[in-house]
Amino acid sequence: MSRLGFDIAHLLAGLLVLISFLQLYQDRLYALLNIFALHALVLALSVAWQAFIQDAPHLYVTAALALAFKAIIIPVVLHRIIVRLGIHREIEQVVGVGPVMLAGIGLVALSMVVMLRVTQQADPLAREDLAFALAVVLLGLLMMVTRRNAVSQVVGFMSLENGLVLAATGAKGMPLVVEISVAFSILIAFIVIGIFLFRIRERFDTVDLQALDRFRGERR
């Protein structure tokens, strides 16, 4: 049982990393949002599995939150937003797929090396979970820096948060306070972002951050 439990947890966490890679090279917003929904779905499964093997029923709440908010509500709302903004057909210039993928592989290797080395005394399940979680976090960061469009930056940020949830649930017995706060913070963050996107749309007819960046630095 414990062997199987470990393998499935391992599989789900590994899938998350893989889906993070898929996100990296999506250049259509629609496809990106679908992949993100998948990311959140796998996260929900992984958290639910952790709840089962750790015998920690409160984690089911976190899993349900991940499923409801991140896999369903947020992608649906974002779909609507990009249709309303009229950018759903746009193709986004991704900064060279090759270099980004290479950088991603480098980051995953880095997180494995760092986390596996420092957590030698921790139990193997938490250990590998943490290494995968760090990889997801770093890939989310990478996505945020390589994207120019506000919507895909937000998606990058949310997949980064998914990595954090994975880490928090992998740490056995971590108090509920944190999980709920993570869920809430995503919700709040989403509201904030939503408001922002609408205002940006209102004012400048674009959500392209390059347009925003024109005013960077000193006003002359």
Partner 1 sequence: MRFDALAAVLLIPACASVLLALLPGYRITARLNVLATFAAFMSAISLFAVRPQPGSYLLVDNLNSTFIVLTTFVGFTTSVFSASYIGYELESGKLTSRSVRFYHAMYQVLMFAMNLALVANNIGVMWVAIELATLTTVMMVGIYRTHEALEAAWKYFILGSVGIALALFGTILVYMAARPVVGEGFDAMVWTTLVDRAGSFDPALLNVAFVFLLLGYGTKVGLAPLHAWLPDAHAEGPTPISAVLSGLLLNVALYALLRFKMLLAVNPAALAPGPLMVTLGLISLVFAAFMLYRRRDIKRMFAYSSIEHMGIITFAFGMGGPLANFAGLLHMTMHSLTKSAIFFAVGHVAQIKGTQRIADMGGLTETNPVLGWGLILGVIAIAGMPPLGIFMSEFLVVSSTFARSPALAIVLVFGLLVGVGGLFMRLNAVAFGEPRGPTAKSKASYVPLFSHLALVLMAGVYMPPALVAWFESVAKLLG
* Positions that interact with partner 1 (CB under 8 A): 114-115, 117-122, 126, 130, 133-134, 137, 141, 144, 150, 153, 157, 160-161, 164, 167-168, 171-175, 177-178, 181-182, 185, 188-189, 192-193, 196, 199-200, 203-204, 209, 212-213, 215-216, 218-220
Question: Smaller CB distance to partner 1: residue 98 or 220?
Answer: 220
Question: Smaller CB distance to partner 1: residue 83 or 114?
Answer: 114
Nearest distance in Å: CB 117, partner 1: 7
Question: Smaller CB distance to partner 1: residue 93 or 204?
Answer: 204
b (16+ CB within 10 A) / e for 78-100: bbebbeebebbebebebeeeeeb
| CA diameter of the chain | 67
Characterise 86 by phi-psi region: left (phi > 0), alpha (psi -120 to 50), beta (else).
left
Q: State how far the alpha carbon of 32 is from the alpha carbons of 22, 25, 35, 43, 193, in Å.
A: 9, 9, 5, 16, 17
Nearest distance in Å: CB 207, partner 1: 10
Nearest distance in Å: CB 137, partner 1: 6
Question: Smaller CB distance to partner 1: residue 72 or 212?
Answer: 212
- Residue pair 87/151 in contact by the 8 Å Cβ criterion: yes
Angle at 26 between CA 152 and CA 68, to 5 degrees: 60
Nearest distance in Å: CB 177, partner 1: 5
Question: Smaller CB distance to partner 1: residue 22 or 171?
Answer: 171
Nearest distance in Å: CB 8, partner 1: 21
The tokens describing 121, both together, are 């005394």
Report the alpha-carbon distance of residue 46 to residue 62 in Å, rounded: 11
